[in-house]
């Protein structure tokens, strides 16, 4: 069903579900810089207008994109067998016929770093790791470096190509894609990730001491100056002259799934909550401050949308920034970066979230990729509503990132937590100081 302006009065959880359902169904995968991402921008702008958002705009920018080609890998010779593999974002390309070379096993990124420079000339490096699920997703930082930094280390060792264990916690035969962070001046080599069961196979085979050989075909392309863009929209507050509260998500996704948990759910949550907060003012009226939503483009390949937003809007004052980009499982913890002078606001926030099962956390909130640049530029206050990440990396960047993985009840709890937060911060008359 196509919504009309009347849907702005629908319950916020219903709006959120409809948004993520329709985005993942009507647009599907939305790779950064692709025609599908462009369709998603048009879709999002139209939907925000239909829901009653004002000042809706598409803000274009260009970026470096990656287009997947043929992804194929198989062990040849000893223990010959096919492997489930996906190219990583910004991978170099093999010839169309592929390459065949010895496969050298490294149990960790540290082990590869310890290898002598040039020792992998004419060989393919395999990097293993041991990421485990955690509620706060804390394993993604260190183990994500296997994907982000590992290929560059392999180049320094002279490798012809590199394959890694997927940065994920599932036991399905679904490889996880994701972006590589090549250093300036480094020529990309072919780089892929195999599924966790396939990585287990490689580890067992390496333990036999028999030499391994891999035939690898990765024919993707890196495309410069690809078109992308952000979508912004506002729900004006009672005093539009006050700096707005910024809530963000990212609209792009990887191509293997339909981008439901990463990050269709986030866009649904922030838009639904912003609408729900429209009755948080006196006598059920609008909040004091404008709430601005940012559906950022091209986050998956380097946070280009967040940088573009900061460049375009960096001279406009903001009251606070938040981001939803960790799936749709329940919010369990809240963290802020508020200064002691804002303890009263923080106390009201904690009291509002407590009935939803949200507990206060230690540490300092930092927002996320889509708001990080504007937060740094303006030293903004931030609220992080941390979602349960126990199962997030089972699905992250895989073909399994689809709508059926979203629990509507958990999505509704997210919207309620966000709506409760916005009801407080968007009605705060004075500035909230950040640490």
| Both tokens assigned to 202 | 């490689």
H or E stretch including 395?
helix 392-395
The pLDDT value given to residue 6: 37
Report the SS3 class of residue 117: coil
pLDDT tens for each residue of 218-273: 999 999 999 999 999 999 999 999 999 999 999 999 999 999 999 999 999 999 99
As a dihedral over the C-alpha atoms of residue 156, residue 159, residue 163, residue 165, rounded to 10 degrees, the angle is: -50
Spatial distance between the Cα atoms of 10 and 116, rounded to a whole number of angstroms = 62
d(CA 102, CA 125): 8
What are the φ/ψ torsions at residue 240 (nearest 5 degrees)?
A: -65, -10
- By 3-state DSSP, what share of the chain in percent is helix, strand and coil, each rounded to 5? 35, 25, 40
Can you give the pTM of this predicted structure?
0.96
Q: In sequence order, which residues have a C-beta less than 8 Å from that of residue 409 and are 6 or more positions away?
A: none
Q: Computed from CA positions of residues 54, 367, 319, 16, in that sequence, does the dihedral angle turn out positive or negative?
A: positive
Residue 106 has pLDDT above 60, yes or no: yes
Separation CA 201–CA 209 (nearest Å): 13
Q: Given this model, what pLDDT does residue 381 score?
A: 98
CA–CA separation, 178 vs 144, rounded Å?
A: 9
pLDDT of residue 363: 80
Beta bridge partner(s), residue 124: 103, 161
> Could you read off the pLDDT of 150-197 as tens digits, one per residue?
999 999 999 999 999 999 999 999 999 999 999 999 999 999 999 999
**What pLDDT digit, counting tens, does each position of 198-219 carry?**
999 999 999 999 999 999 999 9
Is the distance from CB of 125 to CB of 106 less than 8 angstroms? yes
pLDDT for the residue 3: 35
In sequence order, the 6+-apart residues with CB closer than 8 A to the CB of 301 are 32, 33, 63, 64, 65, 66, 89, 90, 179, 252
Buried residues in 203-215 as b, exposed as e (16+ CB within 10 A): eebbeeeeebbbb
* Among the four given CATH numbers 3.40.50.2300, 2.40.128.110, 3.40.630.10, 3.40.190.10, the one describing domain 5-66+224-425: 3.40.630.10
CA triplet 261, 234, 236: central angle to 5 degrees?
A: 135
Tokens of 226: 């690809």
* pLDDT-based confidence at residue 10 (cuts at 50, 70, 90): low
CATH architecture of 69-219: 3-Layer(bba) Sandwich (3.50)
Residues 6+ apart with CB under 8 A from 139: 131, 132, 133, 169, 393
List the domain boundaries for the chain.
Answer: 5-66+224-425, 69-219
């Amino acid at each position: 069903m196509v919504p009309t302006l009347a849907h702005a009065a629908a319950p916020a959880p219903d709006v959120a579900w409809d948004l993520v359902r329709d985005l993942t169904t009507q647009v599907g995968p939305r790779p950064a810089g692709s025609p599908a991402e462009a369709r998603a921008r048009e879709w999002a702008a139209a939907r925000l207008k239909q829901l009653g958002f004002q000042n809706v705009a598409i803000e274009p920018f260009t970026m470096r994109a990656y287009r997947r080609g043929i992804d194929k890998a198989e062990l040849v010779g000893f223990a010959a067998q096919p492997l489930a593999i996906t190219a990583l974002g910004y991978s170099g390309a093999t010839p169309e016929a592929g390459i065949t070379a010895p496969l050298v096993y490294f149990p960790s990124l540290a082990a590869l770093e310890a290898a002598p420079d040039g020792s992998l000339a004419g060989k393919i490096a395999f990097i293993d790791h041991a990421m485990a699920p955690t509620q706060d997703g804390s394993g993604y930082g260190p183990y994500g470096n296997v994907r982000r930094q590992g290929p560059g280390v392999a180049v320094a060792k002279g490798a012809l190509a590199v394959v890694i264990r997927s940065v994920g916690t599932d036991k399905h035969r679904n490889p996880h894609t994701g972006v590589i962070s090549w250093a300036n001046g480094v020529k990309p080599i072919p780089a892929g990730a195999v599924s966790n069961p396939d990585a287990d196979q490689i580890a067992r085979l390496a333990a036999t001491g028999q030499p391994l050989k891999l035939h690898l075909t990765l024919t993707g392309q890196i495309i410069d100056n690809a078109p992308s863009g952000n979508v912004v929209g506002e729900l004006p507050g009672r005093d539009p002259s006050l700096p707005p509260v910024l809530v963000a998500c990212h609209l792009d996704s990887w191509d293997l799934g339909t981008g439901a948990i990463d990050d269709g759910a986030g866009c649904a949550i922030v838009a639904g909550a912003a609408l729900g907060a429209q009755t948080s003012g006196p006598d059920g009226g609008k909040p004091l401050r404008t709430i601005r939503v940012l559906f950022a483009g091209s986050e998956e390949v380097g946070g280009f949308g967040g940088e573009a937003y900061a460049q375009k809007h960096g001279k406009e004052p903001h009251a606070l920034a938040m981001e939803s980009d960790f799936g749709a499982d329940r919010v369990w913890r809240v963290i802020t970066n508020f200064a002691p002078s804002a303890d009263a606001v923080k106390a009201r926030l904690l009291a509002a979230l407590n009935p939803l099962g949200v507990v206060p956390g230690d540490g300092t909130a930092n927002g996320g990729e889509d708001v990080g640049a504007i937060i740094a530029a303006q030293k903004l206050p931030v609220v992080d509503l941390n979602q349960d990440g126990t199962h997030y990396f089972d699905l992250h960047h895989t073909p399994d990132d689809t709508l059926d993985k979203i629990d509507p009840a958990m999505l509704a709890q997210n919207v309620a937590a966000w709506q409760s937060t916005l009801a407080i911060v968007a009605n705060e008359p004075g500035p909230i100081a950040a640490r």
